[in-house]
Structure 1
Amino acid sequence: MRVLWFTDVLPAAARRHLGLPPAPGPQAWVDCLADELGRRAVDLTVAVPWPQPFPAFTSGGVRFVGLAASPEPAGRWRRVLEGWRHRVDDPLALAAARRLVRELRPDVVHVHGTESVCAPLVPVVEGAPCVVSLQGLLGQYRRFYFAGRTAGDLVRLALSPETLKGRGELHGYARLAAKARREAWVLRTGRWFMGRTAWDRAALAAANPAARYFHCDELLREPFHAAEWRPQGHDGSRLYCTSSTMLFKGGETLLEALALLRRAGHAGLRLRLAGVPPASEVGRLYRAAARRSGVAGAVDWLGRLDGAAIAAEIAAADVFVYPSHVDNSPNALAEAMLVGAPVVATFAGGIPSLLRHGEEGLLVPRGDAVALAHAVATLLADRELAARL
């Protein structure tokens, strides 16, 4: 079978080929799937829009191609202007993708995510089914983008130097909203989709009842298969969360819950937070929230970590906490469950499809710091329950 896979994320093999350093982040999950398909009887080509297109090369039985994509504008003021335009479509990359489809004549075309710049291919590919994987649901993410933010937070974002330069979270929201409009069109016009949760299945059924839906779970990175959480040696002093710089990940709720727990008798409790660079816009908002809650000295800001470091953090934590306001099937949560750590997460989006409350972890309402603190305290007090979950 000949498969052509479009992704906006540069895989590790391509980074090595181009002489670029490794980068922690979403490409790790793309790499897992590419590696697995490369070991099977699949003729796989992975195509990536890239400002410096590169000729096809083969690594691990997989062919990689760099598609011509629009480069960043030259000149400071042109980049600022482009940042304020919030354009998400790339006609150059889309034209290159169409040419590649005609050249390879694949049996299946796969677009990785409705947010992909190649998503508009979905309804126009001829001669082969074009399947899009539902990674997130941007239309729903847009509704919760600023959840938990204070008026002061929004003022700080509006006055941020990043905003003036056409970057930062307010512009990120505008671009996400534009992608959400494109996603709505893809959901209405596509015929074949892959997803992993009851939530994304329901969203597709509402948008396009005639579409075919295929359940397809995500592959997880190797370090999380090797790591193991052991209840011995955990002293109830460490929470861990893998987050990101998306505003809706609920960091402010977690910090408020940490303050409640420390005041309620867990005075030595610390939070280790990964995925949020302290100097980023979201990092600055979280640090301000930590100061307001009186827990600034109880948070270890770890920044971005690779898979091995994250697995080690999960294995060493007393409780893994995932407080997001909305998510479809967060790999961070699935990785913690694979390691075996006791988990507290929010009843939001597709998360209940991953975690059964009371059997595989505890679920709490989104944005509810009191409920979050109570669930964490329950696991810290009942180590037998924590080990069972």
Structure 2
Amino acid sequence: MKVLWFTNSPCSSIKRNNEKTLAGGWLTSLENALKDKEYINLSIAFISHSESEPFLFEGTTYYPIHDNTSQNVITKLANRIKPLSDKDNRLLPAMLKIIQKCQPDIIHIHGTEECFGIITEHITNIPIVFSIQGLISPYKEKFFSGIPYHDIRKNENWYNKIKLTSVKEEYQSFVYRGERECSFLKKAPYIMGRTFWDKNITLLFNHNRKYFTVNEILRDEFYTAKWEKTQFENQLQLVSIVSFGVYKGYETILKTAKLLTNHANFKFTWNIIGYDIHTPMLQITEKALKLYHQDYSIKLYGRQNSQQIVEILKSSDIYCHVSHIENSPNSVCEAMIMGMPIISGYAGGTSSLLEHEKDGILVQDGDPYILAGAICELQSNFKKALQCGKNAQTKAMQRHNPHNIIDELLHAYHEIINH
């Protein structure tokens, strides 16, 4: 079976030049598991900022799609001024050329965020399946949750505004990509997803689509890492992984940390992975709220690789997920499979991951009072926290079993091709 992926990530090919990436590790894990199947001939097309010919590496054929945006400053600014559809039109011929050269039995587009779905207008003789990562359209509705637009613009770095990389441009990109995503989903005959959230939203856009449940393989390090505490630290160690979007909820952490500082009867440290003092959203949020991490026992770790994240999680007590909208956040899944006590916002598809009061605690997203209260509850009841972590681990081990996931994926491929 000849399978062609379109992905946002170069997957395992980064090893070819000894490069490192901190994103997309789950996709590399899926690639490695799939290419062990002798009857699968896998090719991967990905957007690259350097010009390169197709190449074979460790049994997979890679097709870089050159997007020449990494030019001098003037060229970069010129490209940012152009309509976002210009990139789609520029990359379409390259994608069609790859399909013609590869001649796959099935095309698998990972995610609806990028422009890959425009090939559906031109490819009618090869089945195409989308797997859902996030969904831009509903994300857009929660984009400014927590901090109003005018507060962001008032406190944003002038340098980002000049470079046209500000929150304004990011939101405009969301609007365009959300509309483009809707057009993809309306015509997509096959969808792979894993939560009630993505299942029902894709049904809204296309009542005739066929839906397959295919879970995600996590990064290797998390399958063997275990959270093994027998009691909480005297100074409670909270931990969150926060990425760069406006809607990722850093303001909830600040407000919650303030409440705990003022009212809780215990000391704590809140370890933040993903942000450092130079992160734009950290600077914007703290200026807008006039709350600063150093005043509320918040420790910034910046971006970390998977092994570093494992070590931080193992030394922490409770994982707190604060994003205002998600599908199935890998950070929650990774904390679950390690057996950590977890508190997560009830947002998007998170309730498909863990059951409230059984595998962890679900709270209203963006509500610092209930988040602070839930932290107090677990801090005072280690037995409950430990049991929730064990239940979460059992559920995650089954859900993220690589053999099961490959079976789910191959079943979907065979059914789509036969259909």
Whole-angstrom CA distance in 1 between matches of 2:293 and 2:48: 44
* 1:182 counterpart residue number: 180
* Deviation per residue, 1:169-227 (Å, 9 max, x gap): 22111112111110010011111111111011111111110111111101100111111
Compute the displacement of 1:119 (Å).
Answer: 1.7
Compute the displacement of 1:164 (Å).
Answer: 1.9
Question: Which aligned pairs between 1:16-165 and structure 2 lie closer than 5 A?
Answer: 16-17=15-16, 19=17, 21-26=19-24, 28-41=25-38, 42-67=40-65, 69-72=66-69, 74-85=71-82, 87=84, 89-150=87-148, 153-157=151-155, 160-165=158-163
Compute the displacement of 1:158 (Å).
Answer: 5.5
Kept in 2, the 8 Å contact 1:198–1:353? The answer is: yes
Kept in 2, the 8 Å contact 1:5–1:110? The answer is: yes
* Deviation per residue, 1:289-338 (Å, 9 max, x gap): 68526753511111110011111111211100001110111111111111
Compute the displacement of 1:52 (Å).
Answer: 2.5
Kept in 2, the 8 Å contact 1:257–1:372? The answer is: yes
Whole-angstrom CA distance in 1 between matches of 2:293 and 2:131: 42
Compute the displacement of 1:16 (Å).
Answer: 2.9
Compute the displacement of 1:117 (Å).
Answer: 2.2
Compute the displacement of 1:91 (Å).
Answer: 2.5
* 1:262 counterpart residue number: 261
Whole-angstrom CA distance in 2 between matches of 1:140 and 1:123: 24
Kept in 1, the 8 Å contact 2:237–2:318? The answer is: yes
* 1:6 counterpart residue number: 6
Assess, with a 3 A threshold, how the Cα gap between structure 1 residues 240 and 286 changes in structure 2: closer, same or farther.
farther
Q: What is the number of residues matched between the two proteins?
A: 385
Assess, with a 3 A threshold, how the Cα gap between structure 1 residues 34 and 44 changes in structure 2: closer, same or farther.
same
Question: The residue matched to 2:252 in structure 1 has which SS?
Answer: helix
Compute the displacement of 1:55 (Å).
Answer: 2.6
* Deviation per residue, 1:133-155 (Å, 9 max, x gap): 11111000111111100466323
TM value normalised by structure 1? 0.93
Whole-angstrom CA distance in 2 between matches of 1:323 and 1:262: 18
Kept in 2, the 8 Å contact 1:72–1:79? The answer is: yes
| Most deviating of 173-182 and 72-81 | 72-81
Assess, with a 3 A threshold, how the Cα gap between structure 1 residues 297 and 152 changes in structure 2: closer, same or farther.
farther
Question: Which aligned pairs between 1:321-360 and structure 2 lie closer than 5 A?
Answer: 321-360=320-359
Whole-angstrom CA distance in 2 between matches of 1:8 and 1:293: 34
Higher helix share: 2
Kept in 2, the 8 Å contact 1:234–1:316? The answer is: no
Whole-angstrom CA distance in 2 between matches of 1:231 and 1:366: 27
* Deviation per residue, 1:241-282 (Å, 9 max, x gap): 011001111111122111111222345211110112321211
Whole-angstrom CA distance in 2 between matches of 1:338 and 1:351: 15
* 1:240 counterpart residue number: 239
Whole-angstrom CA distance in 2 between matches of 1:272 and 1:279: 16
Assess, with a 3 A threshold, how the Cα gap between structure 1 residues 295 and 381 changes in structure 2: closer, same or farther.
farther
Whole-angstrom CA distance in 2 between matches of 1:14 and 1:206: 36
Whole-angstrom CA distance in 2 between matches of 1:116 and 1:294: 34
* 2:417 counterpart residue number: none
Whole-angstrom CA distance in 2 between matches of 1:275 and 1:294: 14
Assess, with a 3 A threshold, how the Cα gap between structure 1 residues 286 and 269 changes in structure 2: closer, same or farther.
farther
Kept in 2, the 8 Å contact 1:325–1:348? The answer is: yes
Whole-angstrom CA distance in 1 between matches of 2:343 and 2:260: 14
Q: CA RMSD in A?
A: 2.0
Whole-angstrom CA distance in 1 between matches of 2:83 and 2:255: 33
Whole-angstrom CA distance in 1 between matches of 2:288 and 2:266: 18
Assess, with a 3 A threshold, how the Cα gap between structure 1 residues 25 and 287 changes in structure 2: closer, same or farther.
farther
* 2:310 counterpart residue number: 311
Kept in 2, the 8 Å contact 1:254–1:372? The answer is: no
Whole-angstrom CA distance in 1 between matches of 2:83 and 2:320: 33
Kept in 2, the 8 Å contact 1:324–1:366? The answer is: yes
Question: The residue matched to 1:122 in structure 2 has which SS?
Answer: helix
Whole-angstrom CA distance in 1 between matches of 2:203 and 2:193: 12
Assess, with a 3 A threshold, how the Cα gap between structure 1 residues 151 and 183 changes in structure 2: closer, same or farther.
closer
Whole-angstrom CA distance in 1 between matches of 2:266 and 2:327: 34
Whole-angstrom CA distance in 1 between matches of 2:287 and 2:381: 32
Kept in 2, the 8 Å contact 1:2–1:108? The answer is: yes
Compute the displacement of 1:54 (Å).
Answer: 2.3
Question: The residue matched to 2:212 in structure 1 has which SS?
Answer: strand
In structure 2, what residue type is equivalent to 1:277?
Answer: D
For structure 1, the residue ranges without an aligned partner over 5 or more in a row are none
In structure 2, what residue type is equivalent to 1:226?
Answer: T
Kept in 1, the 8 Å contact 2:261–2:296? The answer is: no
Kept in 1, the 8 Å contact 2:231–2:382? The answer is: no
Whole-angstrom CA distance in 1 between matches of 2:56 and 2:70: 31
Whole-angstrom CA distance in 1 between matches of 2:344 and 2:112: 25
For structure 2, the residue ranges without an aligned partner over 5 or more in a row are 389-419
Question: Which aligned pairs between 1:276-315 and structure 2 lie closer than 5 A?
Answer: 276-288=275-287, 292=291, 296-315=295-314
Q: Once the two structures are aligned, what percentage of the paired residues are identical?
A: 25
Kept in 2, the 8 Å contact 1:94–1:121? The answer is: yes
Assess, with a 3 A threshold, how the Cα gap between structure 1 residues 148 and 316 changes in structure 2: closer, same or farther.
same
Kept in 2, the 8 Å contact 1:230–1:315? The answer is: yes
Assess, with a 3 A threshold, how the Cα gap between structure 1 residues 231 and 313 changes in structure 2: closer, same or farther.
same
Q: 2:205 aligns with which of 207, 212, 218?
A: 207
Kept in 2, the 8 Å contact 1:146–1:248? The answer is: yes
Compute the displacement of 1:96 (Å).
Answer: 1.3
